[in-house]
Amino acid sequence: IFAFHRQEAGPVRFVESFGGWVVTRYSEVDRVLTEHAVFSSDELRHSTQPIPHSSNPLLRGLQAMDPPRHHVLRRIVSQVFTPRAVSALEPVITARVHALLADAGESFDLIGEVAYPLAVHTIAGLLGVQPSRWPDFARWTEAITSFFGTFAADEARRTAFHQATTEMGDYFREEFERPAGVIATLMASGLTEDELIDFCALLLINGHETTKTLLANAVLCLVSQPKPADLRLAVEEVLRYLPPTGGTDRFVTRPTTLGGHELRPGQRVVAMITAANRDPEVFPDPHTFDPDRAPNPHLSFGHGIHFCLGAHLARMEVRIALAALFERSWRITDLDTRRTPVGIDVLEVTLAARPREAV
């Protein structure tokens, strides 16, 4: 991801090893995200490359659909993600954050003991599924996302992926027997069982992995800062500076020109959110973390018809968790980046029960 971060090699370029166009300048990234008729999200339909992961629920879900189907489905699911519905969760999330911090004690792994359980419990509660199954959610998510990101997956990964999608499908079918939460709403709106499974899988995967990463990234960005004057602005700046999603793929539907290059139908285009967020033409002093930055038109939740459905929820969860952390003083005592190429696995944090300003 960070190799594609820099714009020096040009705002749009073809990367052979990757088999597609990499787009790094804000204006072009924004165009790729918003011109959905030219840059399709439907890989199964528009990609000319072989697709090793065609049974992936993420490839059939909302995020991989184009209009008109996208429009129909998005309208249904938007009903359950309104800002008002999400704000109604604020007291529950606040109580959970305080309970998790109380249980965690003075020195704890922020990811394993706070960020992960917070994100999983919130999305599980919203969906109406059992949070106690979270070790399974985590295993399925890892198997599905790690397979998704590879073009030549080995046999072990392939097996883990198939096992995960089967287990996840079976699990959701069981949940459909006693529908609650979002699942009950969606079942009442006439989605087929397969559509429901794909959508639940998308929510479960998108809903916790990215939020967990955002909270961890926020702690990394803010550890050496005083409490930000406005936590909302600070969360936006964390999103800009260290976005949990590095980039997103599209597929060219018709001949077009982008950044002076001719693109052909079927070609893959990756819109690099990380790079667009640091475009000096849009963000003054882009490599500086400025918790008061405003305006901050980052693209970390995408833009256009696929704008993140969970953006309000993710922002709120992270803001509440940061507010609770800043009621104490804290520092990072350990950081483990060994296991994952995209993030951190263990973030040991030590708290002191004194106001931060007094330390």
Q: Which residues lie near ligand HEM (CB under 6 A)? A: 33, 41, 62-63, 74, 123, 202-203, 206-207, 210-211, 214, 243-245, 248, 300-302, 306, 308-310, 313-314
Q: In the complex with ligand HEM, which residue's Cβ is closer, 164 or 205? A: 205
| Smaller CB separation from ligand HEM, 314 or 351 | 314
CB of 107 to ligand HEM, least distance (A): 26
Radius of gyration over every alpha carbon of the chain, rounded to an integer in angstroms: 20
As measured in angstroms, the least distance from the Cβ of 314 to ligand HEM is 4
State which residue, 72 or 359, has the beta carbon closest to ligand HEM.
72
Decide whether 277 or 300 has the Cβ nearer to ligand HEM: 300
Here the contacts of 117-120 (C-beta below 8 Å, separation 24 or greater) are 118/93, 118/211, 118/212, 118/215, 118/317, 118/321, 119/207, 119/208, 119/209, 119/211, 119/212, 119/215, 119/317, 120/208
Tell me whether residue 125 or residue 169 sits nearer to ligand HEM (CB atom): 125
Q: Least distance from C-beta 4 to ligand HEM, angstroms? A: 15
Instruction: Give the residue closest to ligand HEM by C-beta.
Output: 310
* Rounded-to-integer distance, Cα 269 and Cα 305, Å: 17
CB of 252 within 8 A of CB of 264? yes
By beta-carbon proximity to ligand HEM, the closer residue of 202 and 322 is: 202
User: Least distance (Å) from ligand HEM to the CB of residue 243?
Assistant: 6
Nearer to ligand HEM, 291 or 310 (CB): 310
CA 151, distance to chain mean position in Å, is: 21
Smallest gap from residue 62 Cβ to ligand HEM (A) = 4
Distances in Å between the alpha carbon of 310 and those of 123, 166, 202, 282, 356?
10, 25, 11, 25, 31
AA identity, residue 24: T
Nearer to ligand HEM, 41 or 296 (CB): 41
Distance CA 1, CA 184 (A): 38
Which residues is 233 bridged to in the sheet?
Answer: none
Q: How far is the CB of 302 from ligand HEM (least distance, A)?
A: 3
Beta bridge partners of residue 258, listed in sequence order? 261
In sequence order, what are the beta bridge partners of 262? 257
CB of 352 to ligand HEM, least distance (A): 28
What type of residue is 178?
R
Helices (H), 4-113: 26-34, 43-46, 69-78, 83-87, 90-104, 110
Neighbour count for residue 59 (Cβ, 10 Å):
19
Cα distances (angstroms) measured from residue 167 to each of 24, 46, 47, 120, 203: 38, 29, 28, 18, 16
Q: How far is the CB of 69 from ligand HEM (least distance, A)?
A: 11
